[in-house]
Structure 1
Amino acid sequence: MLAELQEIKARLCLNSTTSHQPPSQDKPWTPKSERQKTGRSSGAQPGHKGKTLKMVEHPDEVVTLPVTGHCGCGQAWDTVTVSDELARQVLDLPEIRLHAVEYRAQVKVCPTCHHREQASFPAHVPGQVQYGACIHGLAVYLNVVHFVPLKRTANILEAVCGTTISDGTIALSLNVAAERLTDFETELKSALLNAPILHADETGSKVNGKLAWMHVVSCKQLTLYGHHEQRGYAALKNMDVLPQFQGTVVHDAWSTYFQLPAQHALCNAHLLREWRHLAEEHGQIWAGELRSAMQLVYHEHKAGTLTSEGKAAFLDRFDMLVQAGLDVNPPAEPIPEQRGRVKQTRGRNLALRCQRHREAILRFLDDQQVPFDNNQAERDIRMACVKRKVSGGFRSAKGSMNFCRIRSYTSTLHKQGTSIWRGLVSIFRGDIIMPNFS
């Protein structure tokens, strides 16, 4: 009973600093930070390139303010020459309204044979009346990039542009954008296969009220999202990248990833939080010492001051502390007539993971390209959690697929410093701005 009580109390103390729990689920007080103090003041540091409002060189409109009336001596200001001018500028949006362009295709009849000939309409004018590329791009921008639900997107467009757009029209914009980005996704997958290191993560995302999963495979310059009803290998196979990838995959030790043919590197930020929980809530000294040793060797490695002797000493200490963790957490006794594996304590499971996946945990020490953590994928998948809070899940599997493909495009553009807005508008103009895949 005491052991069960301790386990329950420890579970209640879990937060984003001691487990996989996201910071959004933490209690109101500020959690402890893993960052080490640098002694620098908060805010921008010396040399930071700031952003401030500046006057434009060529204003669109100039309003001259004349000096009128009379001077105190009686001289009329209208008769005095201007000696100088002081300028102030107001930067604002012009009035936003729909710009209607009417295309008139000429029709001519040959006076000789009476053949009737008509000029062709442009490809982007297929119907009698349609919205242009900017309206479609803005609808997709609001819904996919900023997670504004369909109804609210329609309300914003009505308030700003003065036009009433239905949910169906916005859904059509998403369908068209996703269809036209098919070639982009194909090239994106090929580029990811050629990357030396990829990051992977997943999070829950509902479709029509049922739990599904959003997956991400990314690197510094590229992002691929996928949505699947399963969390495991079937989802990775459907994305068609990781099952063929031969480089290094950085992940959080989810068992499915170990089925991949790639090399593995584990997220040590997750381990630091789990070691902290064991040390603070369960009083396991080995976990606290291993956490401190890992932090020290990471900062030495990052600063370039880690020597071969220091690295060897850390590896010996790592093995010693992991073994101490196994000794402190002996295997649980099998329960008679119980099928399957016997449930082990949290401490033993963590020590076993450190022992079994030692090479993947410490790969960052041997390969300079391998990062210490999986923050790249964590940042890329965070938007799915924000969407879940702001606008909930998806109405259909097709809607989730559309969202993931468009979001892959906008995220990749953002990483490469290309305007997302220009990219979305280019989709509907038929000249898609492609990111750099090399």
Structure 2
Amino acid sequence: MKIPPHLVGLSKRDIIRRNILLESRIDELEKQVEDLKRHLLAYENAHTPPSQKRNYPKREKKEGAKLGTPKGHKGVTRQTPEPTEFKSLSLDCCPHCQNHLGKPKRIEKRIIEEIPDPQPLRIIEFSIPHYYCSYCNTEVIATDSELPKVGNLGNNLQAQIALMRYEDRLPHRKIANTLNRQYGLLLTPATIFDVTRRVCDQLLEIYNNFKQEMRNASQLNADETGAKVNGLKHWFWVFMSLTTVLFCLRKKRDYKVIIEVLGNDYGGILTCDGLKQYAKVIKRIQRCWAHLIREAKFFAQKYEGQARVLYNSLCELFVKIKSVNVETTIEVRNKIFNDCIRDMQSYINTARSYKELKKFAVTIENGLHQWFTCILYPEIEPTNNRAERELREFVVQRKIFGSLRSEKGMIITETIMSVLATWKIRNLNTYSMLRATLSS
């Protein structure tokens, strides 16, 4: 055996020492590679949002395709409102040569929409009489819908500040700047934050009632996303029924949060993304097919071959699931349910024999029957898209505001966002409802 040139002249002890150093270096490099892979996984996995993806694939442009709306699309023209003011314009002389013009050749009508000039503040002084009721033996104080319960900022102003923060997504500093520009009102960011606390205090009773509504609901959607509070990792949870949305911001992503919201004996059906903490509390679960299809597509694009076959098979199975509706008889639903279980088990067994699909097969098999709860209960959606859509508002705010600063901010955020989101899905005007609640 020929000795490599760089080992010529080295003693056996030196060669052994060199090998030990090289093995140590190899172990160190392999650890770095694993760390880099783990870091890269945050940007290259099946559930990476588009905002975090690197080298996001561009859509291929179709040759000969025109810009604009598709052919056959019915355009919608914005309706012209009825005018509330009228102005007639006139011109006596030509602006160029000063010649007298006489009667106009024609009259053109134009309707515009304009906002009023910034309005001055209403500074209201209330004279509040205090009475003594001899029958009740107590003091009685007169009230007014415009008189706030706490502080010297009116209910309308408090409602506007809360909406600018949690619907318009403005930071406290920008809310203060906007109010100064519009009304000449001088407030500090700290005051803006305190106003949201006052609004939160008056919405807490409504928020707490939502928990009982969740426990009584026959079907729910739930999801969670990461959040930072004073730089520390927390979790922002959403639970939603058909008419109510409840947000919770907690330190942990465990089953205790689920028990806090739904109790130990929730009897309804929960649609979720498959987090194992849900199964510790909830008996009937529908796992999200959107997550499953997305993950299968990721493997199909990465490995092709059997991964592509598995992806196509799952897509066909999803179409079969969606064909079931409330009018489908129980006998037919039971047959489809058993057929789907059998087909899915077959896909799992096949995927297990491929190294790149083995872990994915385990993911599918865990809670196998939970993929098909929507067949037995067709009023349940097979995906968890409703909960994910509700979380997007917080995700956008998280990108704008960054980390929350305190536990007080946690309570304010979860309370106000829950109430506003609930009013929205009930098709109620958030400003009118918030102002009425603060005035009641």
SS of 2:213 mapped into structure 1: helix
How far off its partner does 1:376 sit? 0.9
8 Å CA contact retained: 2:296, 2:311: yes
- The answer to whether the aligner puts 1:56 opposite 2:66 as a matched pair is no
2:253 counterpart (227, 231, 235):
231
- Greater Cα shift, 123-132 or 346-355: 123-132
SS of 1:249 mapped into structure 2: strand
Q: Which amino acid aligns with 2:438?
A: F
Alpha-carbon distance between aligned partners in 2 of 1:417 and 1:50, rounded to the nearest angstrom = 23
Q: Which amino acid aligns with 2:273?
A: D
TM-score by length of 1: 0.75
Task: Tell me the residue number matched to 1:36.
Answer: none
Alpha-carbon distance between aligned partners in 2 of 1:283 and 1:105, rounded to the nearest angstrom = 78
Task: Tell me the residue number matched to 2:268.
Answer: 247
Q: What stretches of structure 1 of length at least 5 have no aligned partner? A: 34-40, 71-75, 108-117, 330-345, 431-438
Task: Tell me the residue number matched to 1:295.
Answer: 315
Any residues of structure 2 matched to 1:384-399 within 5 Å, and which? 384-399=394-409
8 Å CA contact retained: 2:172, 2:192: yes
8 Å CA contact retained: 2:44, 2:54: no
Deviations 1:40-99 (A, max 9, x none): x985897878361x3322x332111246469xxxxx987x7x999643112111012233
1:161 counterpart (178, 183, 208):
183
Task: Tell me the residue number matched to 2:50.
Answer: 23
2:427 counterpart (404, 408, 417):
417
- Greater Cα shift, 89-98 or 399-408: 89-98
Q: Give the number of the structure with larger relative contact order, counting CA–CA contacts within 8 Å between residues 6 or more apart.
A: 1
CA distance 1:393–1:303, change in 2 (3 Å): same
Task: Tell me the residue number matched to 1:323.
Answer: 349
How far off its partner does 1:374 sit? 0.9
- The answer to whether the aligner puts 1:215 opposite 2:242 as a matched pair is no
How far off its partner does 1:136 sit? 1.5
Alpha-carbon distance between aligned partners in 2 of 1:207 and 1:222, rounded to the nearest angstrom = 25
SS of 1:201 mapped into structure 2: strand
CA distance 1:403–1:374, change in 2 (3 Å): same
Alpha-carbon distance between aligned partners in 2 of 1:415 and 1:148, rounded to the nearest angstrom = 22
State the identity as a percent.
Answer: 20
How far off its partner does 1:396 sit? 0.6
8 Å CA contact retained: 1:204, 1:212: yes
How far off its partner does 1:404 sit? 0.8
TM-score by length of 2: 0.75
- The answer to whether the aligner puts 1:173 opposite 2:182 as a matched pair is no
CA distance 1:300–1:348, change in 2 (3 Å): closer
- The answer to whether the aligner puts 1:92 opposite 2:114 as a matched pair is yes
8 Å CA contact retained: 1:252, 1:267: yes
Alpha-carbon distance between aligned partners in 2 of 1:9 and 1:279, rounded to the nearest angstrom = 23
8 Å CA contact retained: 1:218, 1:377: yes
Which structure has the highest helix share of the two? 2
SS of 2:286 mapped into structure 1: strand
Task: Tell me the residue number matched to 2:285.
Answer: 264
How far off its partner does 1:280 sit? 3.5
SS of 1:221 mapped into structure 2: coil
How far off its partner does 1:348 sit? 3.0
Deviations 1:355-411 (A, max 9, x none): 231110122233212212111111111222211210112111111111111001111
SS of 2:249 mapped into structure 1: strand
CA distance 1:394–1:303, change in 2 (3 Å): same
SS of 2:239 mapped into structure 1: strand
Q: What stretches of structure 2 of length at least 5 have no aligned partner? A: 1-25, 61-66, 95-99, 130-139
Alpha-carbon distance between aligned partners in 1 of 2:339 and 2:149, rounded to the nearest angstrom = 73
How far off its partner does 1:421 sit? 2.2
Any residues of structure 2 matched to 1:336-347 within 5 Å, and which? 347=357
How far off its partner does 1:11 sit? 6.7
Task: Tell me the residue number matched to 1:135.
Answer: 157
CA distance 1:223–1:193, change in 2 (3 Å): same
Aligned-residue CA RMSD (Å): 3.9
SS of 1:250 mapped into structure 2: strand
CA distance 1:367–1:9, change in 2 (3 Å): farther
Deviations 1:244-283 (A, max 9, x none): 4211111111111111133111111111222233333345
8 Å CA contact retained: 1:290, 1:318: no
CA distance 1:389–1:223, change in 2 (3 Å): same
How far off its partner does 1:215 sit? 0.6
SS of 1:50 mapped into structure 2: coil
Task: Tell me the residue number matched to 1:343.
Answer: none
- Greater Cα shift, 145-154 or 421-430: 421-430
8 Å CA contact retained: 1:227, 1:235: no
CA distance 1:12–1:170, change in 2 (3 Å): closer
